[in-house]
């Protein structure tokens, strides 16, 4: 159900468009699902502990589960790649090539300090 849009003109002659909303459009889309009494009670307890709505907790739980599945799929894909020695070797070679870029712009003996500044590594004096 779409609410009508009304065109008006303000005091300066500019067009303005006003949309009115019905009560139903102001409400969030809802879906009723059934969960066990145990799950509902746990959800209520968690909501009370966190000071959040049950809906917010469900949204967060669903997102966490989606991310978990994503990472599991990635792990499975890497496991499959590791089973093919030729392909895995190519991946390792590419990683090694990218690792050399970590020192781009640094001279031998230089490193980046935790504050982001370049520092020259101190050489140990040789005893002789």
pLDDT of residue 15: 59
**pLDDT of res. 42:** 96
Would you say 55 and 35 are in contact if contact means Cβ atoms under 8 Å apart?
Answer: no
Q: Which two tokens stand for residue 34?
A: 């059934």
Evaluate whether 110 touches 118 at the Cβ level (below 8 Å). Answer: yes
Residues whose CB falls within 8 Å of the CB of residue 118, separated by 6 or more in sequence, listed in order: 106, 110, 111, 112
Please tell me the predicted confidence (pLDDT) of residue 110: 74
pLDDT of residue 87: 92
pTM listed for this prediction: 0.53
pLDDT in tens, the chain (128 residues): 455 555 566 666 665 655 555 555 455 667 788 899 999 999 999 999 999 999 999 999 999 999 999 999 999 999 999 999 999 999 999 988 887 666 666 666 777 777 777 777 666 666 65
pLDDT at position 117: 77
């Amino acid at each position: 159900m779409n609410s009508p849009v009304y065109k008006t003109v303000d005091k300066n002659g500019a067009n303005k468009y006003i949309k009115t909303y019905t009560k139903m459009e102001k409400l969030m889309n809802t879906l009723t699902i059934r969960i066990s009494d145990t799950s509902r009670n746990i959800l209520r307890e968690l909501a009370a502990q966190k000071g959040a709505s049950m809906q917010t907790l469900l949204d967060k739980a669903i997102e966490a589960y989606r991310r978990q599945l994503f990472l599991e799929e990635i792990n499975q894909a890497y496991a499959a790649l590791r089973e093919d020695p030729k392909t895995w070797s190519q991946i390792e070679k590419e990683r090694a090539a990218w690792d050399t870029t970590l020192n781009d712009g640094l001279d031998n003996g230089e490193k980046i300090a935790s504050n982001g500044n370049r520092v020259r590594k101190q050489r140990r004096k040789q005893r002789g």
